[in-house]
Amino acid sequence: MIRNVVVGISGGVDSAISAHLLKERGYNVLGVFMRNWDENDEAGRCSGELDLKDAEWACQRLDIELRQVNYVKQYWMAVFTQFLDDYQQGLTPNPDILCNKHIKFDLFHTHCRERLQYDAVATGHYAANSWGNYLEQQLQGEEPRLLIPQDKFKDQTFFLSGISQRSLRHTMFPLGCMLKTEVKQLARQIGLQRLAEKRESTGICFVGKRNFKSFIGEYLSPRPGPFIDIDTGCEVGQHEGIHQWTIGQRCRLSSFLQPYFVARKEPLRNIIYVASGHEHPALHSNRLTIDPINWLCSTAKTRYVQEGRLRCRFRFQHTKPLVNCSIIEEEVVLDSPLRAITPGQYAVFYDDQACLGSARILRSKPLDQLEQQTVKHRAT
């Protein structure tokens, strides 16, 4: 039976309310603050220190003990180094998925379960675990499922899609049945208005408010190369390095009737192919190859292995609508083409209720001529 729960306290309203809810339900709650990145912002302030102060303040108000763990070195090796390597290879990584996979739901889970001897870990993610009553479900032999939360707008299952089934078995998501507006309202009611009014962090945590090109330039040296028009093969400009650009991004080249957008990158030749017009067919794809899938649902995995294919739903950006697809071996075939499918990002799979798993996108395949005509017709 679950009695003792560690809550990952971030200094934000979501994790604080998660701790409050668990305490109200009678669990023995311990807060733990993770330090994953140590660097001052452009104003000379360390955002980690500011978050720690908010975490300490919240735990004092909730009468919960707060401890700290430091994963700065591990984060650098498992997440940030991979982030830089991917950009050098022309890929666009997702550090949030990597952080959850390697740090929050691996090292942190191990620390809480083995060293602190706690039964489970809870976070402030907007997601749900199908194991409502942990002991009862385990006796029935059912596995936990990573469910889509009630707040579809705040749904964070996309970023949790790379975690292990083992970690999911010991994870609680207290906010799964709440809307963000309800979380903030509750925070005000229990005296945590300071957190309810705190601005939410968005984007890549270690970049912060800084210009991305300036940030990445601190770690990767410029390597100039040509922008090549994908239709004509002519050079239309120069770039300072493929690591500064991602698929679908506007290039802002001057003196052209239509804006150019990044369609493809060739790291070995240091070439960026660009397409004229936001809806150019070269920016669309309906087939992509992927790494082996990290499965969170054994039923879907079994069906995929036995039948060699699986019908499900797909997204590669957490804010985009789900689209129908088929997974056939290590290729994803979409029912309709999508714009700017980006190698290095993650293909995340769903059924109507839950996240089934994910896999990193290795490459997207260009449309055939008939499919290109369909995209052109749709754009006009």
Cα 135 to the center of its chain, rounded Å = 30
What's the chain's Rg over C-alpha atoms? 22
Contact 43, 159 (CB under 8 A): no
CA distance 92 to 283: 15
pLDDT confidence of residue 212: 78
Q: Using pLDDT thresholds of 50, 70 and 90, give the confidence band for residue 202.
A: low
Tens of pLDDT along 20-47?
A: 999 999 999 999 999 988 765 444 444 6
More confident residue, 213 or 70: 70
Q: Using pLDDT thresholds of 50, 70 and 90, give the confidence band for residue 379.
A: low
Q: Which residues contact 218 (CB under 8 A, 6 or more apart)?
A: none
Q: How many CB atoms lie within 10 A of CB 231?
A: 14
- Whether pLDDT at 4 is above 90: yes
Q: Which of 46, 177, 205, 251 is labelled catalytic?
A: 205
CA distance 359 to 246: 19
Q: Which of 99, 112, 297, 325 is labelled catalytic?
A: 99
Give the residue-averaged pLDDT of 216-240.
94
Q: Characterize the bridge pairing of strands 66-70 and 28-35.
A: parallel
Q: Active site includes 177?
A: no
Amino acid identity of 289? T
pLDDT confidence of residue 371: 62
Q: Using pLDDT thresholds of 50, 70 and 90, give the confidence band for residue 366.
A: confident
CA distance 47 to 37: 9
- Whether pLDDT at 133 is above 80: no
Q: Active site includes 251?
A: no
Domains of the chain: 4-196 (3.40.50.620), 224-278 (2.30.30.280), 284-379 (2.40.30.10)
Give the residue-averaged pLDDT of 2-10.
94
Give the residue-averaged pLDDT of 102-129.
96
Least confident of 36-45, 203-212, 228-237, 322-331: 36-45
